[in-house]
Structure 1
Amino acid sequence: MTTLKDRFKQGRDARKKCSRGDHASTGKVNRDPVPLIKASSEGRVKSLVELRYGRMLVSPFTFYRGNALLQAHDLANSPNMGLVSPICGDCHLMNFGGFATPERNLLFSVNDFDETYPGPWEWDLKRLVASFVVATHDLRHGNSVEEAVCHEVVRAYQQTMLECAEQSTLHTWYESITYDDLREQARKNALEHVERAIEKAERRTHAELLPKISERDAQGRLVIRDDLPEIFHLHGSTTLLDADDDWLRLPDWQTHLDKFMREYRSTLQADRRELLSRFRVQDLAFKVVGVGSVGTRCLVALLTDEQGFPLFLQYKEARRSVVASYFKAKSRIKHEGQRVVEGQRLMQSASDLFLGWGTGPNGRHFYVRQLRDMKVSAEIETFDADTFTAYGGVCGRALANAHAKSSGCAALISGYIGKSDALAEALYKYAKAYARQNERDFERFQQACRKGRLHARSEADFAADYTP
């Protein structure tokens, strides 16, 4: 039987293939980012690609968030210890946050799994530390904060992975970060942010959302309100779908939704299928989300129970993972929605009550979750330096929990990292260098937009086109 000591040694032995210092390398960055950005836009709604670019133009930080494919390309063939397991694939600091468990407890964890796929755990950690350096520049915190937060992320990951290695498999499986934990551990300057996040999450219910995005139509039916460019009906006068879009040739969304819902229900466990059966769909609209996902197919459905109380479900298109494009790994899963759902279930200690998947019109793959229910993200623009650094530690801890659970190899990873600052120093060098590369890529992206190679438009541009 392999002992814990043996597994730690196996991790240390992996340094012979890939030393911890090797992770300072930025990878394959001698390339033009524009063709890769264009490639990541293929298959999206054409008019909304311009909105995606408009959001990416806001700052180097939004640019970084908007294009996970670029960094995946750069990390291809970069050194790694040789352990392949499910990873997030787009692990920047804004893809962490709070959400409700089925028991209505508020947890903090990784909360975006669109790019999840088997890959090196180092890719997630590198994208995370680099995102903190890019954000540090965006928030103008200074070089001392840049170094402190990078080391805090890696040290938290390192310490948590060691703890996971030494505890039972079941303990690791159930491990979670609750907001009560964060409240108890927060320093005075961070406590206000935790309390505010809890209060905000408690208000973010379906009932609270109903009057904000819905209304009664002329016939008295409850419908979702168009709010360009964020929400619009597929066949309405304000649709942003292209004139030749295949979905515009669908005469009746209800027929297609009924077929989708039957498949989706089959991916839920029995008690949740029973719960879903108590709701009826009232309306369906297109919803534009995020930065990196803009232009992909995303729908929101308004359902109500017999008493008229609402449930909002989000149907989000699941495309091929950017990790799969640049890292060869075996995967038994052929449905991209299933890939997202199973990756999320494996990496989180608890997941959305209605998390499932299905196939939409013309064979597009989707996954389903609740819309906004008790979900909160960090308001990093309000963080002072100490709070920002502490947030880095929480993200590092959450990522280690996710990797330990998904891989079952916490001891190997911990043995590889060791107890020194060797990996933290290497990843700080990586993050600084990659942040500079990101700024160069952002400048080339700006130039491409100015010269017409790419076309960008803001939310205000879209809204103005449809203002009476």
Structure 2
Amino acid sequence: MSELKDYRKQGKAARDQCPRSAHAEPGHIDRDPLPLIEASGAGRVKSLVALRNGRMLVSPFAFYRGSALLQAHDLAGTPNMGVSAPICGDCHLMNFGGFATPERNLLFGVNDFDETHPGPWEWDLKRLVASFMVAARDLRHSEGVAQAVCREVVGAYQKTMAEHAEQGALEIWYDRLSYDDLLEQANTQSAVKEVQRSMDKAARRTHAELLPKISERDEHGRLHIRDDLPEIFHLHERSSLLDKDDDWMRLKHWQPLYQTLMRDYRNTLQADRRELLSRFHVHDLVFKVVGVGSVGTRCLVALLTDDQAQPLFLQFKEARRSVLADYLKVKSRPRHEGQRVVEGQRLMQSASDLFLGWTKGSDGRHFYVRQLRDMKISAELETFDSSIFEAYGRVCGRALARAHAKASGRAAEISGYIGKSDSLADALLEYAQVYAEQNERDFERFQQACRKGRLEARSEADFVADHLP
């Protein structure tokens, strides 16, 4: 118990160097957002950068989702208490959701780790709270609701971290947030219905259910995935959106690329999972455009089946250097970016995908691998009333605290710093308000750049029209 108190004291002592009120500071916001946005497009598929810009143009919240690099730059100018641990790196509210454990249990937590990197826990919490403020304004919730949900996020984080500060390492490691837990905590009838609807939806999101939706047999009876521009396309067919000079276009077929990716990937799996994977054979490989911020990075989906014609969809997602890397002194231990993502996910999640691993393409690009879609669900914010929105904030705050406690092993120190008062919540609410306004200014600059032609922006409909017969 004395050691626990010492850790709490260490956390409390950190307030001398970094007062909790200092977290209201917005950071390095005196900058032009456009060069950073342009820099974030480097190395992506050229034709898809315009689609990424088009998706970011939809709303200030869509822009916020796609501009993690901007906030990483800004956060580098903010204070922190000095605890560095694996963090999500892109911790906005749409990067939480439901996912399946290898035992087919449905859990809730952080579910996107493309930008994971050792860093201050405060950065994740600030990006999350600001995302709720931006989304609340975007969804036309009142200022009162926006402020309340931000306080709910911080309050849940504070309470959960205090609980973990009293627990042993194994107890924290085994802790998980299930949908049954969420159902028990739902305090309104609408919240109960939303959780139950999500559980029912997740149960339907299986490989077997997906197969007839996105695949078919050709005239020779061969199983393949249907093109659905601009979301899904084959690499070497007329529908391809890859640039003509792209190195993948020099390949005559997708199979050499698939074989290269699989060779290294198998070695990152446990022996029993390699054996399971060996019972599937591949039919097709396609390019899949995903998300907002990830548009233009490379993502492939392979369709495999076993001897009973039961499907498995594997997703190979490009792992680029974390947007945090240039703004933090601490370095990521793995040199392989896919390994960085996988190890960060394993540290922060309660349980991870059965087929989670990493690999490298023949061109030297790094990828991580996981199942596509399998029981994965995300929030449908447009359906949330104010009470569900606030409840979702509480759940995200709790899930983030659990992830940070597990990954850092320093819950007592963090909890000691936060304390029992509303000091941190007050500061982060102010931060969220200021940063939401900054995001709106950046969005206006972005809109102007697209209108004037400095940045090209195209919609899904534009790409479809290009390929009409």
TM-score interval, smaller chain: over 0.9
- Using the TM superposition, give the Cα deviation of residue 331 of structure 1 relative to its aligned residue in structure 2, in angstroms: 2.6
Aligned residue runs from structure 1 range 27-426, under 5 A: 27-187=27-187, 188-426=189-427
- Using the TM superposition, give the Cα deviation of residue 332 of structure 1 relative to its aligned residue in structure 2, in angstroms: 2.2
| 2:112 partner SS | coil
Matches of 1:396 and 1:265, distance apart in 2: 35
Matches of 2:448 and 2:237, distance apart in 1: 35
The letter for the 2-side match of 1:395 is C
- Using the TM superposition, give the Cα deviation of residue 185 of structure 1 relative to its aligned residue in structure 2, in angstroms: 1.2
Matches of 2:37 and 2:27, distance apart in 1: 18
- Using the TM superposition, give the Cα deviation of residue 400 of structure 1 relative to its aligned residue in structure 2, in angstroms: 0.1
Contact 2:325 2:331 in 1 (8 A): no
| 2:468 partner SS | coil
Matches of 1:173 and 1:315, distance apart in 2: 28
- Using the TM superposition, give the Cα deviation of residue 259 of structure 1 relative to its aligned residue in structure 2, in angstroms: 2.5
The letter for the 1-side match of 2:62 is T
Aligned residue pairs, count: 468
- Runs of 4+ in structure 1 off by over 2 angstroms are none
| 2:405 partner SS | helix
Matches of 1:393 and 1:335, distance apart in 2: 34
- Using the TM superposition, give the Cα deviation of residue 256 of structure 1 relative to its aligned residue in structure 2, in angstroms: 2.7
The alignment's TM-score, normalised by the length of structure 2, stands at: 0.99
Matches of 2:257 and 2:235, distance apart in 1: 13
- Using the TM superposition, give the Cα deviation of residue 210 of structure 1 relative to its aligned residue in structure 2, in angstroms: 0.3
Which blocks of at least 5 consecutive residues in structure 2 are unaligned? none
After superposition, give the CA deviation of every residue in 1:144-168 in whole Å (9 maximum; x if it has no partner). Answer: 0011001100000000000001011
Matches of 1:419 and 1:259, distance apart in 2: 53
Percent identity for Structure 1 against Structure 2: 74
The letter for the 2-side match of 1:388 is F
| 1:267 partner SS | coil
- Using the TM superposition, give the Cα deviation of residue 173 of structure 1 relative to its aligned residue in structure 2, in angstroms: 0.4
The letter for the 2-side match of 1:95 is N
- Using the TM superposition, give the Cα deviation of residue 124 of structure 1 relative to its aligned residue in structure 2, in angstroms: 0.1
Matches of 1:164 and 1:457, distance apart in 2: 46
- Using the TM superposition, give the Cα deviation of residue 290 of structure 1 relative to its aligned residue in structure 2, in angstroms: 0.2
The letter for the 1-side match of 2:79 is P
Matches of 1:301 and 1:80, distance apart in 2: 42
| 1:89 partner SS | coil
After superposition, give the CA deviation of every residue in 1:13-68 in whole Å (9 maximum; x if it has no partner). Answer: 00111000000000000111011000001000000000000000000000000110
- Using the TM superposition, give the Cα deviation of residue 251 of structure 1 relative to its aligned residue in structure 2, in angstroms: 2.0
Matches of 2:23 and 2:451, distance apart in 1: 35
Contact 2:332 2:340 in 1 (8 A): no
| 1:177 partner SS | coil
Matches of 2:465 and 2:210, distance apart in 1: 25
Which blocks of at least 5 consecutive residues in structure 1 are unaligned? none
Matches of 2:257 and 2:387, distance apart in 1: 51
Matches of 1:252 and 1:132, distance apart in 2: 44
Asked if residue 13 in structure 1 is aligned to residue 51 in structure 2, the reply is: no
The letter for the 1-side match of 2:71 is Q
| 1:340 partner SS | helix
- Using the TM superposition, give the Cα deviation of residue 307 of structure 1 relative to its aligned residue in structure 2, in angstroms: 1.4
Judge which range, 330-339 or 125-134, deviates more.
Answer: 330-339
- Using the TM superposition, give the Cα deviation of residue 327 of structure 1 relative to its aligned residue in structure 2, in angstroms: 1.1
After superposition, give the CA deviation of every residue in 1:262-284 in whole Å (9 maximum; x if it has no partner). Answer: 21011011111111010011100
The letter for the 2-side match of 1:437 is Q
The letter for the 1-side match of 2:118 is P
Matches of 1:32 and 1:330, distance apart in 2: 27
- Using the TM superposition, give the Cα deviation of residue 308 of structure 1 relative to its aligned residue in structure 2, in angstroms: 1.1
After superposition, give the CA deviation of every residue in 1:132-191 in whole Å (9 maximum; x if it has no partner). Answer: 000000111111001100110000000000000101111100111100111111121211
CA RMSD of aligned residues (A): 0.9
Q: 1:457 to 1:284 in 2, by over 3 A?
A: same
